[in-house]
Chain A
Amino acid sequence: MKTIVLGVGNPILRDDGVGIHVANQLKQHVNDPDITIDEATTGGMNLLDLIVGYDKAILIDAINIRDAEVGEVKRVLLSDLSSVHSDNPHDVSLLEALQLAEKLGENNIPSEIVIIGIVLKKIPYVFGEKLSPKIAAAVPKAVDMTLTEIGKNLEESNWSKDKLT
């Protein structure tokens, strides 16, 4: 099962880049030709371009959920999201991009898109590369949850999370 894991966010906008921090740590744990780990400072159509052709996509990103505390890590399916907005006024949403691709007969959309969301309440508007303490503390949890998510696929081919280095 070809899987792409993308850390999404802006690496120079503090907590916004948490997904990329997680992705970088994951690279040290996963070594499997079927699993691609990368980062994406983009959304919408560009993000769609990156996930087309994979069976499964795991997106790690900062997410704002009303009934959750800062630093919690949530597994969310794209289809679960009822009210979502882009912080990027120049692009469509990933959801819209996906609907568009489907409508145009794109056959290579991942059958499963999972979001590992690190709960954030405020988007920082000050440049910086460091995460705030609560968000930094959430990184290991997010790494672990992403590995579990990857492991689900690996089990199907007689792998388990324990075999990940």
Chain B
Amino acid sequence: MKTVMIDPITRLEGHGKIAIFLNDKGNVENAYMQIPELRGFERFSQGRRAEDMPQITSRICGVCPVAHHFAATKALDDAFNVEPTSAAKKLRELMYAGYYIYDHTLHFYYLGGPDFVVGPDAPAAKRNVLGVIEKAGVEIGKEVIKHRAYGQKITAILGGKATHPVCGLPGGVSKGLNKDEVKNIETMAKSCRDFAQFTLKLFDDIVLANKTYVDVILSDPYQLATYNMGLVDKNNKVNFYDGKIRITDQKGKEFAKFDVKDYYKNIAEHVEEWSYIKFPYLKKIGWKGYVDGKDSGLYRVGPLGRLNAAEGMASPLANKEYKRLFETLGGRPVNSTLAFHWARLVELLYATERTLELIKDPEITSNKIRNPVGEPGEGYGVVEACRGTLIHHYKLDKNGLIDKANLIVATVNNAGAINMSIRNAAMGLIKGGKVNDGLLNMVEMAFRAYDPCFGCATHTLPGQMPMEVKIYDNNKKLYKTLRQNM
């Protein structure tokens, strides 16, 4: 058989590329994960028809097409000075809940979950979805596949295409729902709700019932006391599709709450010469480097960030789970990075309940799905992508063409925190220049929890995510290189 080697170095181009810097005692001083940013978006967008942006931006990333689609659509609502109809908002939110169902299911069972379900000490080759199925059983595997597909079908019924939706228009959506589709979605959503409850039970049985795992969750290397950020509704409950951006402090108290148009009044960006991405921080606190605690301007987004930044879930079953999570882990906020996995499942349950609530709403079959647009201007759109707050900002010229465009993606919001989590995980495992064998595992678990999205080129020829850790001594000389899946 012919063997084709794919060059790992060029292919890596920053993905999973981690640098760890040691001090003169050979202990960890700092760590950075290089997150390559796709560049030139503004130039690429200039002069394009604004209404094409929801389609174009849904192709930026193979992971979050639906999130980009709606951040763009909402930015266009704002830019064309139009409020979508009530039915259109519900249809969009319904579709958005479908995206959460499949994305969160995928992450828990395929990507993040294996670390726990198979075990944090298991070899990398076993920590994948096949390992999960070995442990949980083939029947459960079939349920996973089925419900992930249901999430996608719900999205596809509303969006036209599962992966690259075409429904969002300024002022509304292009397609409503008929009675058959409603029935179909309701059946799938009920099944997804049961499956989400089952998954939380599985998390209980396999993770929470196992003291070793709970100890890992609560262990020092995985604690990070940052601020937290997420969208909330008028009752300060988590919302994925709309609301105000709320930031809470290390005690869980509200630090700021604002509309997306005031993002830059609250958030500034720190520039590092070694990174294309800028590191956002809270303006009022200032940039204090990669430190946590009250004086650090860093915050976290994503499932745990959202749950910490809110005061509950807007649906009954998920709200119960929300309370249980905080009661179990010592109250809000929870600072354990690995609790992201649990928070993700609470959100999965909420997404299914919200789908059911919306699909039963009589207005969901309304044909008033679009309002006429006004004059073009400037607009902001914000949604919670599965992995955190996502913002699109456009300026349109008088002909409705894009003049300026800027995106703030979820992983960028988390960038500072990801670096610290990697550093903290590495600290326990590199002492006096001696590198412990478990380093790659622990480092991978640290950034996996965030479900980071690197603004990806989507490729078919794929394997496990490659990871390369370079360790540098106190003279910044390369000391050691560790690799996985390369």
B41 contacts across to A, CB distance below 8 A: 127
Binds B, one of A25-33, A90-98, A138-146, A156-164: A90-98
Cβ < 8 Å to B, chain A residues 4-30: 6, 8-13, 16
Q: Verify B460–A83 contact, CB threshold 8 A.
A: no
Interface of B (DSSP majority class): loop
B59 contacts across to A, CB distance below 8 A: 10-12, 41
Chain B: CB-nearest residue to A74: B4
B271 contacts across to A, CB distance below 8 A: none
Cβ < 8 Å to B, chain A residues 43-80: 43-47, 49, 59, 61-67, 74, 76, 79-80
Q: Please, what's the 1-or-0 string for B442-464, where 1 marks a CB less than 8 Å from any CB in chain A?
A: 00000000011110111111111
A128 contacts across to B, CB distance below 8 A: 40, 44
Whether A92 touches B458, Cβ cut-off 8 Å, given contacts A49-B149, A83-B8, A123-B11, is no
Chain A: CB-nearest residue to B63: A90
B62 contacts across to A, CB distance below 8 A: 10, 41-43, 46, 88, 91
Whether A127 touches B38, Cβ cut-off 8 Å, given contacts A87-B462, A96-B130, is yes
Chain A: CB-nearest residue to B1: A80
B161 to chain A, nearest CB (A): 11
Q: Verify A81–B4 contact, CB threshold 8 A.
A: yes
The CA of A100 and the CA of B133, in the complex, are separated in Å by 9
Indicate if A84 sits at the interface (CB-CB under 8 A): yes
B15 contacts across to A, CB distance below 8 A: 87, 89
Indicate if B138 sits at the interface (CB-CB under 8 A): yes
Q: Please, what's the 1-or-0 string for A89-123, where 1 marks a CB less than 8 Å from any CB in chain B?
A: 11111111001110111000000000101000111
Q: Which residue in A8, A12, A82, A90 is a CB contact (below 8 Å) of B459?
A: A8
Q: Please, what's the 1-or-0 string for B89-111, where 1 marks a CB less than 8 Å from any CB in chain A?
A: 00000000000000100110011
The CA of A49 and the CA of B397, in the complex, are separated in Å by 41
Indicate if A86 sits at the interface (CB-CB under 8 A): yes
Q: Which residue in B133, B162, B462 is a CB contact (below 8 Å) of A84?
A: B462
A150 to chain B, nearest CB (A): 18
Q: Which of B11, B103, B451 has the most CB of A within 10 A?
A: B11
Q: Which residue in A8, A10, A86, A91 is a CB contact (below 8 Å) of B106?
A: A91
Q: Verify A82–B163 contact, CB threshold 8 A.
A: no
The CA of A87 and the CA of B37, in the complex, are separated in Å by 13
- Listed in ascending order, the chain A residues whose CB lies under 8 Å from chain B are 6, 8-13, 16, 40-47, 49, 59, 61-67, 74, 76, 79-96, 99-101, 103-105, 115, 117, 121-128
- Listed in ascending order, the chain B residues whose CB lies under 8 Å from chain A are 1-8, 10-13, 15-16, 36-41, 43-44, 56, 59-60, 62-63, 65, 103, 106-107, 110-111, 128-130, 133, 138, 141-142, 145, 148-149, 152, 162-164, 451-454, 456-466, 485-486
By Cβ-Cβ distance, the 6 closest A-B pairs, closest first, are A86-B462, A127-B44, A93-B462, A90-B63, A8-B460, A126-B40
